Amino acid sequence: IPEIKGTMVSRPMQAIIDEAVRLQDGGIQELIIIAQDTTDYGADFGVKNGLSKLLNGICSAAPHLPWIRLMYAYPGYVTDELIETMATHQQILPYLDIPLQHGHRETLKRMRRPANIEWVYKTLEKLRTAMPNLAIRTTFIVGYPGETDEEFAGLQQFVSDLKFDRVGAF
């Protein structure tokens, strides 16, 4: 996608926080933080753990905003700091949409996607330990060119192991 749409560009943190305050003051009940990869927020500014910093800033500046939802979080960028931020703030819904695409290393490599399946298992375990009521939604591509029966079976095992709350398949 970056090859088609260009590199990621983060909006300035203070601009987003100011907008959250305006929305809170206007009576908005839910703020959805959405991007191609929200967990990479601020990397283009050289900010580490940018999403965690942004969420802490929003929760502090807009304490009466009831719900904050994150969309499109990649497990490779879900840091311990982000997990702690999510678990600490009641405003942040215990929900993550993690577009994993597949659950077999070889299929992911052909897709030119991160293929460290063990990392996904560890990250989801950390998330669920910190937030036992966390709902996780994901999407998968099945029938990708070259996908074997063994790879599809690996995807099925992956889904069974991780017990996602919602799954979309294409």
In degrees, to the nearest 5, what angle opens at C-alpha 161 toward C-alphas 155 and 166? 75
Token representation of residue 50: 């940018």
Helix (H, G, I), strand (E, B) or coil at 168: strand
Lookup result for tokens 């939802």: 69
CB 130 within 8 Å of CB 78: no
Residue in the block written with tokens 């099945």 = 142
Q: What is the pLDDT of residues 133-144, one digit of tens each?
A: 999 999 999 999
| Strands 92-97 and 166-169, bridge-based pairing | unpaired
Confidence (pTM): 0.91
Tell me the mean pLDDT in the region 67-75.
92
Residue 138 pLDDT: 96
Structure tokens at 19: 């907008």
